[in-house]
């Protein structure tokens, strides 16, 4: 199946599934409206919320950092991880944004993606096609060909279930030896310093509790005022991605702890001894101060706008540079915020579908128009 036929089928299925979810769970739309208001509060006072988040992470016994740019973030993560470690990743766009996996590998660490789609991309030396479904552009035959490298019993005629089982077996052998678990964060609660993550595979749960050090790296745009807002964000994100209810929602608030003796809370317990939160700026703070651009920071990375976009449906991952994990209409905005790269905006034909399906009601066409204007001034 070629890309155009594949994305046409997937887009139609996603549209119908999201419509079904919103009809069956009408409170999701209400949560989305409330979430937009709460996220805008943070965007309009981002410095204060960053400081609050860092203070509350440290109050819980964790460590928090504000990375100004990609180099700064790599340096912070590299110092925490060190060398000659086994590192397991869950899907994190910010890690792609800064080239973290390659950087840690260059420091003699063994690093593995544990999300199935990301793992397939890693072993096939590819690049994510979609922000939620990174291996969207791979067929069953493509996946089997990649997995054959770790399990010779797999071939292009293997069932999907057999391919998944082979990957699961391989990754389990890495989980039990991992020194460091690295995740992103779907949301960060400023009031408590807790992070929320949503998933279906179970790999994030393992990445956050089996290694003795957990590092979460995410953008400052993921900060929300309260833990209630963080839970709202993971539910809204999964619903508009067409994956609701999610199999797992994970909350991490500092390193592991126990209060089983005299109700005195002590740390660590069975899980990680160390928790580190790296908050990434990389252009986000500047965007929050730009009246034309700040609305882009409302994005919850559900990926729904991809499927509504005629350009993405033709170009796929070729729309943007392979040095960025951000694609589709929202990718135009995020490439400019994080890379100051306006050129992907030139492909936009302003169909407007992205605005219609966005749960945060971001006026994506207007933001892209602004980026086009900036790009035209630099010619």
End of a domain among 282, 312, 341?
A: 282
32, part of any domain: no
Whether 360 and 247 map to the same domain: the answer is no
pLDDT tens per residue, range 178-195: 999 999 999 999 999 999
80, part of any domain: yes
Q: What was the pLDDT predicted at 333?
A: 96
Confidence of residue 10 (pLDDT cuts 50, 70, 90): confident
Whether 230 and 301 map to the same domain: the answer is no
306, part of any domain: yes
Whether 320 and 255 map to the same domain: the answer is no
Query: For the chain, what is the domain count?
Result: 2
Strands (E), 44-138: 63-67, 86-89, 110-113
Domain span including residue 73: 46-282
Please give the structure tokens belonging to residue 246. 């999610």
pLDDT tens per residue, range 110-150: 999 999 999 999 999 988 999 999 999 899 999 999 999 99
pLDDT tens per residue, range 272-315: 999 999 999 999 999 999 999 999 999 999 999 999 999 999 99
Q: How far is Cα 275 from Cα 164, in angstroms, rounded to an integer?
A: 30
Whether 220 and 360 map to the same domain: the answer is no
Q: What is the pTM of this model?
A: 0.96
Yes or no: say if 237 and 301 are a contact pair by the CB < 8 Å rule: yes
Whether 269 and 290 map to the same domain: the answer is no
Q: How far is Cα 302 from Cα 238, in angstroms, rounded to an integer?
A: 7
CATH number of the structural domain spanning residue 325: 1.10.1060.10
Q: What was the pLDDT predicted at 339?
A: 92
pLDDT tens per residue, range 41-79: 999 999 999 999 999 999 999 999 999 999 999 999 999
CATH number of the structural domain spanning residue 138: 3.40.50.10420
Whether 131 and 265 map to the same domain: the answer is yes
pLDDT tens per residue, range 217-243: 999 999 999 999 999 999 999 999 999
301, part of any domain: yes
> Is residue 336 over pLDDT 70?
yes
Alpha helices, H only, 148-256: 160-175, 203-209, 227-240
If you write DSSP's letter for every residue of 315-334 in order, what string do you get? HGGGGS-TT-S--HHHHHHH
End of a domain among 282, 299, 319?
A: 282
End of a domain among 241, 264, 282?
A: 282
Whether 198 and 347 map to the same domain: the answer is no
Confidence of residue 254 (pLDDT cuts 50, 70, 90): very high
Closest CA to 339 of 374, 305, 311: 374
Q: What was the pLDDT predicted at 7?
A: 87
Q: How far is Cα 353 from Cα 358, in angstroms, rounded to an integer?
A: 9
102, part of any domain: yes
Can you tell me which residue has the tokens 């010619």?
379
């Amino acid at each position: 199946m070629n890309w155009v036929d594949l994305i046409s089928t997937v887009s139609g299925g996603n549209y119908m599934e999201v419509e079904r979810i919103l009809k069956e769970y009408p409170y999701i739309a209400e949560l989305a409206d409330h979430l937009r208001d709460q996220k805008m509060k943070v965007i309009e006072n981002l410095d204060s919320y960053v400081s609050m988040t860092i203070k509350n992470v440290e109050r819980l016994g964790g460590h928090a950092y504000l990375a100004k740019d990609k180099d700064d973030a790599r340096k912070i993560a590299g110092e925490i991880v060190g060398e000659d470690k086994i590192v397991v990743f869950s899907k994190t766009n910010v890690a792609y944004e800064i080239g973290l996996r390659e950087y840690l590998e260059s420091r003699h660490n063994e690093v593995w993606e544990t999300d199935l789609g990301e793992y397939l991309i890693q072993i096939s030396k590819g690049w994510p096609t979609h922000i939620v479904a990174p291996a969207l552009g791979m067929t069953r035959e493509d996946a089997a060909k990649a997995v054959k490298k770790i399990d010779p019993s797999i071939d292009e005629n293997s069932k999907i279930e057999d391919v998944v089982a082979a990957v699961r077996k391989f990754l389990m052998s890495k989980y039990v030896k991992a020194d460091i678990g690295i995740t992103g964060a779907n949301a960060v609660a400023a009031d408590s310093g807790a992070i929320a993550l949503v998933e279906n595979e179970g790999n994030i749960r393992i990445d956050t509790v089996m290694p003795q050090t957990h590092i979460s790296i995410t953008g400052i745009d993921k900060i929300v005022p309260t833990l209630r807002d963080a839970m709202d964000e993971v539910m809204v994100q999964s619903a508009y991605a067409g994956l609701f209810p999610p199999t797992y929602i994970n909350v991490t608030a500092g390193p592991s702890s126990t209060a089983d003796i005299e109700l005195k809370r002590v740390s660590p317990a069975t899980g990680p001894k160390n928790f580190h939160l790296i908050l990434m700026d990389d252009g986000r703070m500047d965007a929050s101060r730009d009246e034309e651009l700040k609305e882009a920071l409302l994005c919850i990375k559900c990926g729904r706008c991809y499927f509504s976009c005629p350009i993405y449906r033709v170009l796929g991952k070729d729309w943007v540079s392979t040095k960025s994990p951000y694609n589709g209409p929202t990718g135009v905005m995020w490439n400019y915020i994080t890379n100051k790269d306006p050129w992907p905006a030139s492909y936009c034909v302003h169909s407007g579908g992205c605005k219609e399906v966005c749960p945060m009601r971001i006026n994506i066409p207007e933001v892209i128009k602004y980026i086009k204007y900036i790009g035209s001034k630099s010619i």
